[in-house]
Chain A
Amino acid sequence: NAGVTQTPKFQVLKTGQSMTLQCAQDMNHNSMYWYRQDPGMGLRLIYYSASEGTTDKGEVPNGYNVSRLNKREFSLRLESAAPSQTSVYFCASTEGPQGYEQYFGPGTRLTVT
């Protein structure tokens, strides 16, 4: 099993450009998450999908959109990138809504200039 995979690993964007971060899991998990990690701030939840067909905002959703394409895939879109979105983005998945371990992907390092 590959676990949670993310593409791309690195990306540089100019302000105003758009892009989509891809995430896929092969563990048949129901719930999937997008986090951003910034120095000294831990991980902050952007959006999550508790089950296929549902998505909800997390702590820092502004400037992002998500799509739960199917049970395996959960994408994060930046419509008009801003320097404040420079960060490391992690996707995670878990078996159930509560009390289960979250499995993390390797991350995408995004720089917006």
Chain B
Amino acid sequence: AQSVTQPDIHITVSEGASLELRCNYSYGATPYLFWYVQSPGQGLQLLLKYFSGDTLVQGIKGFEAEFKRSQSSFNLRKPSVHWSDAAEYFCAMDSSYKLIFGSGTRLLVRP
């Protein structure tokens, strides 16, 4: 069955430190992959997407993600976290008219 797994429920990093959020998918072919961010009380906003081609994709707010087919992963990274990055992050996979979401990772940022 197709699925998306985000193994970390919470992650805490210090402001200015680097960040990596993990995402693994289960799919028979090359999927379309997305990362969304949700600030408290808000809807979801797209950070970046991968369709094909270059496996390192750049997004908004200084985020990037790398698609690794051999590991079935699409991890989100940011070299230096800002306090405003505190939010919940969702990895998602396109599955024939639908998005399948991971359960989310809540990012906390220490001053």
A: residues with CB less than 8 A from B are 4, 31, 33, 40-45, 48, 50, 56, 58, 90, 92, 97-99, 101-107
Top-9 shortest CB links A-B = A104-B43, A42-B101, A42-B103, A104-B44, A43-B101, A99-B32, A97-B97, A106-B43, A101-B46
In the complex, 8 of the A-B residue pairs with CB atoms within 8 angstroms, ordered by the A residue number, are: A40-B104, A42-B104, A43-B99, A44-B101, A48-B97, A56-B97, A97-B96, A103-B46
**Beta-carbon nearest neighbor of B95 in chain A:** A98
Please report the number of residue pairs spanning A and B whose Cβ atoms sit closer than 8 angstroms: 54
B: residues with CB less than 8 A from A are 9, 32, 34, 36, 41-46, 49, 51, 90, 94, 96-99, 101-104
Task: Collect the chain B residues with CB atoms within 8 Å of residue A56's CB.
Answer: 97
For A33, A45, A105, which residue has the most chain B Cβ atoms within 10 angstroms?
A45
Bound complex: CA A92 to CA B44 (Å): 9
Task: Collect the chain B residues with CB atoms within 8 Å of residue A106's CB.
Answer: 42-43
Question: Is the pair A90, B44 in contact by a Cβ cutoff of 8 Å?
Answer: yes
**Known pairs A42-B104, A48-B98, A101-B34 / 9 extra A-B pairs, C-beta < 8 Å:** A42-B90, A50-B97, A56-B97, A97-B96, A98-B32, A99-B32, A99-B51, A101-B46, A106-B42
